[in-house]
Structure 1
Amino acid sequence: MNLWIVVMGLVLYLVFIGGFSAKDSRSPNVVNIGAIFSFGTISGRVAKIAMNAAVEDVNSDPSVLGGRKLVLSTHDSNYSGFLGIIGGLQFMETDTVAIIGPQDSGMAHILSHLANELHVPMLSFTALDPSLSSLQYPYFVQTAPNDLFQVTAIADMISYFSYKEVVAIYSDDEQHRGTMIALGDKLAERRCRISYKAVLSPAGLANRSEITNELVKVSMMESRVIIVHAYAVIGRKVFDLARELKMTGRGYVWIATSWLSTVMESTPLFGEDAKSIQGVITFRPHTPDSKRKTAFLSRWDRISNGSIGLNAYGLYAYDTVWTIANAVKVFLDRGGNISFTNKPNLDGLGQGKLNLGALSMFDGGSQLLDNILRTNMTGLTGKVSFGPDKSVFRPAFDILNIVPKGYKQIGYWSNYSGLSVVPPEILYTRQRNRSSSSQLLDRVVWPGQTTVKPRGWVFPHNGRQLRIGVPDRVSFKAFVSKDETTNEIHGYCIDIFLAAINLLPYAVPHKFVLFGDGHKNPSYSELVRMITSNVFDAVVGDIAIVTDRTKIVDFTQPYIESGLVVVAPARKLNSSAWTFLRPFTPLMWAVTGENTTSTLGRMVLIIWLFVVLIITSSYTASLTSILTVQQLAPSIRGIDSLITSNDRIGFQVGSFAENYLSNELNIAKSRLVPLGSPEEYADALERGRVAAVVDERPYALPRDSPLATDMSTAILTLSENGELQKIHNKWLNTRACGQPSSEDSDQLQLKSFWGLFLLCGIACFFALLVYFSLMVRKFKRYFPYVSEPSTPSSSKSIRIKRFLSFVDEKEEESKNKLKRKRLEMLSRGSGEDHQSPNGSRRTNSGTTDQDRHNGNIYFC
């Protein structure tokens, strides 16, 4: 900024050499305003037509300025900051009440200092550098949403599509440099970043060779999300050359700021120019539909003679003129007088060659500025008003997607509700909702004419492999270790990493690099230094161990972020899902007499009752144990309880946990106990040497790495298809870890009851065997009497059928016998004979006449 002030001084010296004569324009019937633009640009051409139309409309309504005439003077800066500054000085010398412009932020920074001194409000809808809205420039007002809101919209969209890194291509000037700084800040808030900045020379200086060289560098980068923020003349060159370099096809994501929508609306592209921007996403200041806007659009062809199309900034140009006119109206209605006086500190400087005395201060400038900031009207762009920070009312943008026949709108962004497919003016009537579920956009047609969202990154095309750091440890060998014979690196973590890499839909060239001397565990601090200094791209194998004798008791968010895992002793519980057995009592009939069938049934029943009793008792005891242990709350509930206690704390040798516990948490080093292996963990916890172990939980990939999401998805797939468990069984089973079996002997398993089931099975088989033998014996005994003479008794099939029929008959007779015995018991109670259902008489002995007739008499 100091350099610009020096430049301004030189400009003043060159301009005012030989004196600077003032023009008397202090007519009481004239209100002078000025406009500084490069009228050869698209924005300049559209703005000039729109501003002249607004001046015509103001002057046609005598109620606005009370018969005064609004005069607009224009100055063409012709792409030159030097000429733009001269134009500003000329306006401030000729009693101009307000200036529209300048067009770019570089000139605005300089002219704003003059505006501050001479109290001349400056209003711009194209110089949108976020820093221009600061308190440093009180007389500079941005009448369109400044770039801070546009980069916020871009950052929200990048976060919506889950991209983490972008490449920025922009012109190295005040118009674009400040915006890129703001974009970096907004991306950082969403845990994204600009991975590379392709800086181009300002407009008019960037040639094809320079742009091509930068695009080649971009093509070698990892990110495929590219943001272009430049003047239209440079932006169009960027896309044309990118198409020649095959960078506008599938896999790329191109985002252009509002310059592209301005070009598309005012001078539609055709042919090769149109092909180079297919699939690009761009932004346009949102202006709600209205009758006034529709009428102005229909009027545009006439006032522009069809020379150029109307864009959003043309609407803001029209409203800016009306904003000044209404502010002047309020100023005059309140008795204000348009007058100018020489500043005291400039008085007397007009006698020399540098005639600064010609510059005069607008006496009512402060009041006019206040009226402008208090504007409350409805224009072509909707409601026109300003907030406490001088920003426009409810900034919003349309999000456009370039397609073969022009562009389509895929959504909106507003500072009120973020991304949506509903117009902001509708959302303003609803309760504000910025939840992630409410952020929506329509389907995008990406470069290459595909609707499949690009991944947004690739491995750099520079032949470099992914460098995977592997700790050369003396413990936890099952997780990662080097084979001393073949020098190959293998282990549980290595196998998971390789299995996940193989599931990715793209190749990941990589190599494992050992760090550490193999005689002691490497330092975690050294590992972090190697990652931050780009020695390693990722780390495999440095993970925390939680054995089956411990449980995690603290996973609170702050300590997850710091990478801590608190491991404390815990009573081991059965991991199986317990089922509750509903107790039951078998229903038994009291049967007098002791035949063979009843004896066998009773024997089997007694054995089954014995089995059920043991199983029920065992489950009851286990359930009681579970409920009892659940009531035993551990004394250590997390890192906070460790800090407040005086207990000793274990940590892994070489872990960052030691320094973190002592330096960050202020725990005395005398309380810290170094441990080097899972066996030492278990021993220290069981013997009470330590109350808990604080271990490390480092991430395998750098934070926000684009590979992290794909790797996490791949590992989840391994878990779902069972491969993860197979790898676990391979490396971390009983023999591999040297740990006791995960199935403790005090846990109830199916095999715990094998003896009972064997005993019950033998009893059932024996009872069945005895019963079958008895049936065969009786069958042989009665066979001659029940067989028919005409049927060959030698037929095996007939014998089998008759044997089964015999068994059924005997079963029915047994049931009848039970019935008779019940009736006999009842008849004994009454002392009388009873008539049987078939009409035969039943005696007190329980037999009937029919029984005697049939010969079916059984003695019990």
Structure 2
Amino acid sequence: MILFLAFSSAVAQNVTESKVEEFHVGVVLDLGTIVGKVAHTNISIAVEDFYAVHPNYTTRIVLHVRDSLSDDVQAASEVLDLLENYNVQAIIGPQKSSQAVFISALGNKHQVPIISFTATSTSLSSRRLPYFVQATARDSAQVRSIASIIKNDYGRGIIPDLVNVLEGIDAHIPYRSAIDESATGEQITHELYKLMTMQTRVFVVHMASSLGSLFFTKAKEIGMMSKGFVWIITDGLASLIDSLNPSVVEAMNGALGVESYVPKSTELDNFTMRWYTRSRNDHPNDPTLKLNIFGLRRYDTIWAVAQAAEKAKVTEAKFQRPPALKNYTSSKTLENSRNGPATLKVILQTKFEGLSGYFELSDGQLQVSMFQIINVVGKAHRSDQRTSTTTYSTTRNLNIVIWPGESTEVPRGWEIPTNGKKLQVGIVAEFNTTENVSSSYDDFVYQVYLKKYDIAVVGITIRYNRSLYVNFTLPYTESGIAMVVPVKESINKNAWIFLKPLTPGMWFGTIMLFIYTGTVIWLLELLGNKNVHGPIPRQLATMIYFSLFEEKEKVKRFISRIVLVIWLFFIVVLKSCYTASLTSMLTVQQLQPTVTNVGELLKTGESVGYGRGSYIKGVLEDLGFDKSKIKPYDTLEDFHSALSKGSKSGGSAAFVGEIPYINLFLAEHCKGYTMVGPIYKTAGFGYISSTALQKGSPIIGGISQAILNITGGDTIIQIEKKWIGDQNNCQNVGTISGTGSLTFDSFAGLIIATGVASTTSLMVALIIYFCKNKQVGHENGDSEQIMPQEENKDSGDGEKQCQEAAGARGMHEQINNVMRNGSLVICRGERIRSSWVSSSSARF
């Protein structure tokens, strides 16, 4: 039985071995480089590990390694040889993007997958070249992480994407320096000196490790790795820091870098130990080699290809040539691969957790999600933070960064070079144009955009259209548009000036309140004071007396005195204000502007002036002024002369300008003029004087900070007093409006209080009066009462009583008419009959 089982196993093994298919894979490396050497070791280990894990697979990949010698033509030649003579079904490599351009075209033409783990150029699009697969992070994937460094703290393929992302955080690239891979140390030094003459001090370095080593060595020599400089290196160089010469790493001290994040795992630790053992055997003359991200991705790429070979069920495929072209090497004579489409499809569907992290090649490129930022310190580097490829946010803040020059202070990113080009500063003379300056401020600012000037100062207003092509610092003075107009005497001192202290509305309101208060006091007294009784003229006289004077003998009731006190308080306040206002009108000069708003100028059609070359002309046209009514002037004296003449005499009725200029005008011509406005509150304008600089100028932040230092304290006040004068000394500064008359609104509180007190008192008095009379009516008028008849009385006594009742009724006739109440006395012979007797008539 044992012999039988052993025999059966041997037979099965022979059958299995006979069914194994070979899957030929070409490998193109630059074996003289660090990346090539590390990758070569990783490939060998990857094949061994994969089939140790999958011993039952019926396909076995056969590797054909070729050395491109770092030459693009040699790389292409090796690929053609692999396609023709070895019938490879896939090609891993090449390392350089320049080599991949031609080789990917070959793969696309003959339907052979080309898988590169180092070619990062975004120009190698999977849409244009569907058979080219990038098993590494594209340059565009790391640009957001680079931008996050620039935002948080202060090759040709990467530049377009980097420019777009940096513009998204308001950072700009003023210069692009292209250094050839074969550049000498002298050529690199010359380019570095050119960079030193520029203002920017933030540099992004995107180059191979060999060129990068020479570049940073020269930068260190000429002093560009000192305090104030910022160096950011991309993934291609940052990932190989550990493999560079220690002297090169020391020269890069203070640089920041972006490299792919590799998660830690037990498998990675075990592989690293095995790799170092194998590397010493494969490269005994290069013991400094260290494992890097490119080697790990090459390992994972082999696993992906091996899985694709098994799942695609490949068949033997050869690239046949016609007999006549048997010895002729040309891609045109090669046929398409039969297994290429199926192999590519499986490769793009491959997803697994590899040594380099999650490995997925969908869409023809590696899906990288995380990068980490490193800081080169001493002879090594340290990892600081992880950043996402799709957002600027970070999982944790940066540690303290050691910048070039061993500084922990965050560089501001720009300097004024002492040996560089001097700044060209353009200055505009106030209200004055010269032959060297355009007549339009917009044109002058545009000269900054054209780089005729680096900066323009003095009276440059921040406007939307200007901000499209220049940058502005923070404002250094107040904003707004206003008018300067002449002032005139506002009071005509004639015989009726005594009426001026109160407006017509105030006069009318006071008289009406006077009548109402007098009526209320009269009614209150009428209900309980016999002195009020009498003819109507006498009662009216009493009413006026009550309103003007406080006489205890005349005003008896307490509630009447309350109303009278409130009224007299109002009279005293009004009298004091009237006296003060009349005194001011008779003794102090009263001035008011000839024009109070822009609408008056538009209605009257008068001319207005503005500073020549200012944007105010456009503002006036937008407001509706006729172009013939808008007159430009050059100097402050021209404005004074035009305003003195007036619009009807060939001058202007008003000068419209920005508030700083108006303050300057009033400082020299205070008497006779005043400022009206600002008018932007109604017209919708609000502009600020500032400083214009070229777009992306690095000195904007420094100038703005200096401006804040001045405007935030007493310095700006002292400057204004020195050059404009003390505005408090000018009586006409500010808007002067109104006549100084007392209005109804000024006494609204007292008027309301007086009216409420009078009305409330009257209502209370009436309620008390009616309630009291009603109570008496219930007591004496429930049933008709007849006065008892006295026996043995002569009829003469009854007649006398009737006459007395008639007299009493005459005394209270007016009360009965007003209040509709009282006594009704009926005489019937010898009897007196009363239907209702009031308290006032009961006395008789």
Change (3 A) 1:400 1:745: same
Picking from 443, 457, 465, the partner of 1:540 is: 457
Indicate if the aligned counterparts of 2:319 and 2:337 stay in contact, CA closer than 8 A: yes
Q: CA contact under 8 A between 1:566 and 1:695: conserved in structure 2?
A: yes
Aligned to 1:414: 388
CA–CA distance in structure 1, aligned partners of residues 571 and 409 of structure 2: 62
- Given candidates 695, 708, 713, the residue that maps to 1:716 is 708
> Which residue in the other structure is 1:704 paired with?
696
Task: Give the partner amino acid of 2:405.
Answer: G
Q: Is 1:193–2:172 an aligned residue pair?
A: yes
Note the C-alpha offset of 1:652. 6.0
Offset at 1:88?
1.2
DSSP-derived class of the 1:223 partner: coil
Who is 2:242 aligned against? 265
Report deviation, 1:234. 1.3
Aligned to 2:66: 75
Distance 2:147 2:411 in 1: 17
Q: Deviations over 1:334-360 (max 9, x none)?
A: xx5453455xxx867726845657623
Matched, 1:120 2:112: yes
Quick check: 2:109–2:336 contact (8 Å CA) kept in 1? yes
Distance 1:356 1:279, change over 3 A: closer
Contact 1:279-1:448 within 8 A present in 2 as well: yes
With over 3 angstroms needed to count, the CA separation of the structure-2 counterparts of 1:42 and 1:352, relative to structure 1, is closer
1:153 corresponds to 2:145: yes
Residues 615 and 144 of structure 1, relative CA distance in 2, 3 Å threshold: farther
Tell me which amino acid in the other structure corresponds to 1:184.
V
Match of 1:229 in 2: 206
The Cα offsets for residues 123-148 of structure 1, whole Å up to 9 and x where unpaired, read as 11111001113521111111111111
- Which of these residues, 101, 110, 113, is aligned with residue 109 of structure 1? 101
Q: What residue is the counterpart of 2:756 in the other structure?
A: none
Select which of 317, 321, 327 maps to 2:308.
Answer: 327
Residue 41 (structure 2) pairs with residue 52 (structure 1): no
Distance in 2, Cα, partners of 1:452 & 1:367: 56
1:224–1:457 contact (8 Å) kept in structure 2 = yes
1:457 maps onto 2:419 in alignment = no
Give the C-alpha shift of residue 286 in structure 1.
1.1
Is contact 1:394–1:414 with CA below 8 Å preserved after alignment?
A: no
* Rounded Cα–Cα distance in structure 1 between residues aligned with 2:21 and 2:727: 101
For 1:180, the equivalent position in structure 2 comes to 159
Contact between 2:119 and 2:136, CA under 8 Å: does it hold in 1? Answer: no
Q: Give the match's secondary structure for 2:174.
A: strand
Unaligned runs of 5+ in 2: 1-17, 281-286, 473-478, 485-565, 579-596, 600-606, 640-653, 658-673, 741-844
Residue 696 to residue 324, structure 1, CA distance change in 2 (3 Å): same
Residue correspondence of structure 1 range 766-785 to structure 2 within 5 A = none
2:191 corresponds, among 214, 223, 231, to: 214
- How much has 1:635 moved relative to structure 2? 13
8 Å contact from structure 1 (residues 280, 446) kept in 2: yes
Q: How far did 1:692 drift?
A: 3.8
1:461-480 to structure 2, matched below 5 A, reads: 461-462=418-419, 464-474=421-431
CA contact (8 A) 1:651 1:693 kept: no
Shift of 1:743: 7.8
Structure 1 residue 566: deviation in Å? Answer: 8.1
Does 1 or 2 have the higher relative contact order (CA < 8 Å, sep 6+)? 2
- Displacement after TM superposition at 1:263 (Å): 3.1
CA separation of 1:524/1:544 partners in 2, compared to 1, >3 Å: closer, same or farther? closer
Contact preservation (8 Å) 1:145, 1:396: no
Q: Equivalents in 2 of 1:470, 1:304: separation in Å?
A: 68
Conserved in 2, the CA contact under 8 Å of 1:650 and 1:674?
A: yes
Give the secondary-structure state (helix, strand or coil) at the position aligned to 2:205.
strand
Change (3 A) 1:146 1:746: same
CA distance in 2, matches of 1:119, 1:60: 30
Distance 1:337 1:263 in 2: 40
CA contact (8 A) 2:133 2:361 kept: no
Deviation at 1:220, TM superposition (A): 1.9
Contact conserved, 2:483 with 2:678, CA < 8 A, in 1? no
Task: Write the mapping of 1:378-389 to structure 2, written as runs, cut at 5 A.
Answer: 378-388=353-363
Residue type at the aligned position of 2:385? G
Q: CA deviation at 1:452?
A: 0.4
Q: 2:366 maps to what in 1?
A: 392
SS of the residue corresponding to residue 466 of structure 1 reads coil
Residue 91 in 1 paired to residue 82 in 2? Answer: yes
The answer for the alignment partner of 1:317 in structure 2 is 298
1:817 aligned residue: none
C-alpha distance 98-611 of structure 1, shift in aligned 2 (>3 A): farther
1:376 equivalent to 2:351? Answer yes
TM superposition shift of 1:49: 0.9
Residue equivalent to 2:538: none
Q: Tell me the amino acid that sits aligned with residue 203 of structure 2.
A: I
Shift of 1:715: 1.3
SS of match in other structure, 1:145: coil
* Alignment deviations for residues 484-503 of structure 1 (CA, whole Å, 9 cap, x no partner): xxxxxxxxxxxxxxxxxxxx
Shift of 1:372: 1.5
**Residue 239 (str. 1) matches residue 196 (str. 2):** no
| Number of aligned residues | 571
> Deviation digits for residues 449-492 of structure 1, max 9, x if unmatched?
110012222112335432221112426xxxxxxxxxxxxxxxxx
CA distance in 1, matches of 2:739, 2:147: 55
Query: Which is higher, the Rg of structure 1 or of structure 2?
Result: 2
Contact map agreement 2:141 2:389 (CA 8 A) in 1: yes
Question: Kindly tell me: are residues 416 and 710 of structure 1, through their superposed partners in 2, closer, same or farther at Cα, counting changes over 3 Å?
Answer: same
Q: One-letter code of the match for 1:383?
A: Y
Partners in 2 of 1:249 and 1:182 — Cα distance? 29
Contact 1:347/1:357, CA 8 A, preserved across alignment: no
Cα pair distance change 1:616/1:300, threshold 3 Å: farther
Q: SS where residue 177 of structure 2 aligns?
A: strand
Q: Check whether the contact 1:471–1:521 (CA below 8 A) recurs between aligned residues.
A: no
Q: Secondary structure at the match of 2:167?
A: helix
Matches of 1:446 and 1:240 in 2, distance apart? 17
**Alignment partner of 1:37 out of 23, 29, 54:** 29
Which whole-Å CA distance do the structure 2 matches of 1:121 and 1:666 have between them?
69
Choose from 281, 284, 305 the match for 2:259.
284
Q: Take 1:251 and 1:715, find their aligned partners in 2: how far apart are those partners?
A: 23
1:275 Cα offset (Å): 2.7
| Higher mean C-alpha deviation, range 74-83 or range 131-140 | 131-140
Post-superposition offset of 1:233: 1.5
The aligned counterpart of 1:20 is none
Give the Cα separation in 1 of the matches to 2:703 and 2:709.
10
Q: Which runs of 5+ in 1 are unaligned?
A: 1-25, 163-175, 423-439, 476-514, 546-554, 571-605, 619-633, 637-647, 749-860
- Letter of the 1:180 partner, please give it: I
Contact 2:141 2:368 in 1 (8 A): no
The structural deviation recorded for 1:533 is 3.2
How many Å apart are 1:87 and its aligned residue? 1.2
**Normalization by structure 1: what TM-score?**
0.59
Identity of aligned residues (%): 27
Distance in 1 (alpha carbons) for counterparts of 2:426 and 2:404: 36
Aligned to 2:534: none
Task: State the distance in 2 between where 1:616 and 1:300 align.
Answer: 104
Tell me if the contact between 1:396 and 1:414 (Cα under 8 Å) persists in the aligned partners.
yes
Output the TM-score relative to the length of structure 2.
Answer: 0.60
SS of the counterpart of 1:131?
coil
Residues 1:405 and 1:199: Cα distance change in structure 2 (over 3 Å): closer
Paired position in structure 1 for 2:496: none
Change in 2 beyond 3 A, CA 1:354/1:322: closer
Match of 1:789 in 2: none
1:303 CA drift (Å): 1.9
Which residues in structure 2 correspond to 1:564-713 (within 5 Å)? 567=481, 653-655=612-614, 673=630, 680-681=655-656, 692=683, 699-713=691-705
**How many angstroms does 1:298 deviate by?**
2.5
